[in-house]
Amino acid sequence: MLFSTLIFLIAFLPIVLFGYYVLLRKWRPAQNVFLLFASLVFYAWGEPKFVFVMIGSILFNWLMGLLVDRRREKKTAKLWIALDVAGNLGLLFVFKYLMFTLGNINTLFGLSLPVPTITLPIGISFFTFQAMSYVLDVYRGDGQVQKNPLYVGLYISLFPQLIAGPIVRYQTVADEIMNRKETWDDFTDGVHRFLVGFLKKVLLANTMALVADGVFDSKEPVCAAASWLGLIAYTLQIYYDFSGYSDMGIGLGRMFGFHFLENFDYPYISTSITEFWRRWHISLGTWFRDYVYIPLGGSRVKKPRLVFNLFVVWLLTGIWHGANWTFLVWGLMYFVLLTVEKLTGADKKLQGKGWLPVKYIYTMAFVCLGWLVFRADSITAAWAYLRNMLGMGTSVLDDSFWYYFDNYVVFLIAAAVLAVPLAPWLRKKIDALPKAPRTVCNAVYTVGLLSLFLVGISYIVKGSYNPFIYFNF
């Protein structure tokens, strides 16, 4: 089930809110069981059979958590941790990488091993990482073990963040499972955050997808200008698609008393690759930092070891995103860039306002190049697209560019402007106004937001493009 569908907006969410706040008010255990049941229904809506995969993951990690907690002070605890990691990664491998691995073995060695057709469960990378987070946090003492498997199930399957994040660390919500406090301020903030994410997805990401898909998937030759426009559109699409989902997830969590950490912080204003990855998909970056990079030694090691640590993290980051050589190349590109930045300290050395445009252009050039590889179906397709951008073997400008430009220029400009922290700046200015004009501005904003929400609903009714990119991961 998608957040940006009528079935979710007019049926699922109202029913869950009614049951949670009216029927089960002030009865926390029943509320938790109800949320768990609702989350399983939410996940099973599209592919019912895969809900059993997630339930199996929940029970496995619940059992591992109990075993690790009982033996935390003994050497055998590490064996249980190793078994838990192997079990979770094994699940990921079978569903996400087995077909890719067997296919490449056949190609490389001229074999004809049978390659089964395996459908990927939606969001398996997200809920698997959360499941591992639970056991690892129990081992570290960062969260209390849950003896009741229903509460482990609630943490892993909670529908606001289940399918595409943010990846919620167990220690973040461990106490809130039983002791959260819902407030009116949290609820209204959550509604506002959900509406903002909804508009990001439906009005901006979906519209940018029309341009990006039209150019990237074109069967006809595409001119250089249209290729640039298509890549810019995809760069904006993936940001609004993923950050929009995260906003909706954070908002929904807030409506039920859960406080998830932020997942995006205006990444397209970054002036280094290091800064970009502090602002983009923050929950994934911190997960790899805390569970892989720091245990390997982090940055407080000699340079060869530092390079190795970065290599492992970014190899795994690329693999996490999908079973395709494009994701490996994408991850290793960031490994090289981040290694250079850390070893040279260029970001810290090149200070001063004069360097900012240079650093920004450098950062966004590689970010866009990364998204080109990320979006392409293969390395060959990525190279062909790059050749088009450089005008090699194609025209510089033709009617295809003007078609997309004329029809979508307003959305492109809006998406580019809103990708910078204009909204927080305006909010500070409004909050600093005297009471009367501040009230007027807030009223205008509320009316505008609700009006745009109705426009977004009309887009959904028309049945325009709507899937989330990160459901594939």
Name the residues annotated as catalytic. 321
Question: Is 249:260 a contact under the CB 8 Å cutoff?
Answer: yes
Give exposure, 197-231, as e/b (b: 16+ Cβ within 10 Å): bbbbbbbbbbbbbbbbbbbbeeeeebbbbbbbbbb
**Mind giving me the DSSP string for 396-447?**
S--HHHHHHHHHHHHHHHHHHHHTSTHHHHHHHHHHTS-HHHHHHHHHHHHH
**Mind giving me the DSSP string for 124-152?**
HHHHHHHHHHHHHHHHHTSS---SSHHHH
Which parts of 301-378 fold into alpha helices (H)? 303-321, 325-344, 346-349, 356-375
Map tokens 């960031």 to a residue. Answer: 334
Map tokens 């409004």 to a residue. Answer: 430
Residue 368, SS3? helix
